[in-house]
Amino acid sequence: MRSFRQLLVLSFAISTGLFSLAGCSSLPRASYTASDAASARVLNASELRRYTDEPAATFLKEPPVSLRAGPVSYLALSGGGADGAYGAGVLNGWTTAGTRPKFTVVSGVSTGGLIAPFAFLGPAYDATLREVYTSGIAESLLDTPSILNALFGSGLFGNTRLRELVARYVDQNMLAAIAEEHAKGRDLLIVTTDLDTQRTAVWDMGRIAEIRTPQALSLFRDVMAASASIPVVFPPMMIDAEANGNHFQEMHVDGGVTAPVLTLPEAFILRNGAFVRGARISIYILINNKVERDFQLVPNSTIDIAARASASVTKTQTRSILYETFDFARRNNFGFNLTYIDKGFPSSGSSGFETSYMRSLYQYGYDKAKTGNFWVKVPPPDDVSSGGFRFKSSAM
């Protein structure tokens, strides 16, 4: 059986091979310009999302009065596909350990974007989170691949199951609960990649939730699905927007294409810190993946080489973000906490969405968190050997 990474590469290869046949069959889109994109509004509302390349001073809203005292905690959930079962297990185990905080800010990318609303709302949604990743429902996300989808559509697999999965758990009651917490000054952020502009979009899900209309619920669901819509494997999510009297659809895909995990612009966190006088600020980064470099004898085949290269790019990007975030936390005397899948945990031998694998990974994350010994205070060393460069833990 091929791994999920190999499946992704194979999907891309099949779609590329069909390009000459499918070139005339692309789905029509309404035209819009870069100027439209720069001023686009969704649901005729402002500040529903920001882009990470905007000036940090304009990134999201000012924290309200209710957050100007007490500890500040920021949970960042990474992408990782089926490996999100690790994050689900960690959160449930953390609840059991009795040390899980009520997060001030939660961000999610890809599978982390699916987890984020449940993590934001707290232990009351632990059972739901466990069900999503261990009941077997996730295994149905990868239907039998369709050449017709690749030829006449925009993904080898349809996204019907993914959208149904999101709609099954995200309803108006959930949005009302998120809106209530948002009103208290807490932030829920989900990341997508805007393919038209090649920018990383950060959606303020609390602002969307507080609109409380059927259209807002639909957008909330679309953003969650978009964040996990791996290009070529799943079709993108087309999100209605308007600018300069022009109505069009933006094309959004997996947030992990541009940001494997979101730890926010430094100025945003510092601004929060400036308002929270004397508060303890802790950053928790939950990586639903392996981040330690490992040795693997790569078979000399196109698919295996491409899959290994793709995994290496993601791992390098993730490690870079971890080092930068650690350095930032150390300079500002913030708490830095990191958890990830150890390189010794057996990889899935199938697509990765195999139920038995996800249950095993969930239990692994749960057991680690339940013991309380699941956070490390520094990123992993920068090479495979034990003699590689390491950050000194005494700097925290």
At residue 225 the predicted structure's pLDDT band, cuts being 50, 70 and 90, is very high
> What stretch of H or E contains 130?
helix 126-134
pLDDT confidence bin for 301, thresholds 50/70/90 = confident
| pLDDT bucket at 65, cuts 50 / 70 / 90 | very low
What tokens appear for 77 in the block?
Answer: 């959930």
Average pLDDT over residues 7-31: 56
Contact 109, 262 (CB under 8 A): yes
Give the model's confidence band at 164: pLDDT under 50 very low, under 70 low, under 90 confident, else very high: confident
pLDDT band at residue 305 under the 50/70/90 scheme: confident
Gyration radius (Cα) of the chain, Å: 21
Judged by phi (left if over 0) then psi (alpha if -120 to 50, else beta), residue 343 lies in: alpha
Percentage of the chain exceeding pLDDT 90: 56
Lowest mean pLDDT segment, chosen from 72-81, 197-206, 208-217, 228-237: 228-237
- pTM, two decimals, is 0.86
Predicted confidence at residue 156, as pLDDT, reads 46
Per-residue CA distances from 31 to 24, 45, 75, 251, 303 (Å): 17, 21, 38, 12, 36
Q: Tell me: the pLDDT tens digits for 237-279?
A: 999 999 999 999 999 999 999 999 998 777 666 665 544 555 6
SS3 12: helix
**pLDDT for position 27:** 65
- Helix (H/G/I), strand (E/B), else coil: 67: helix
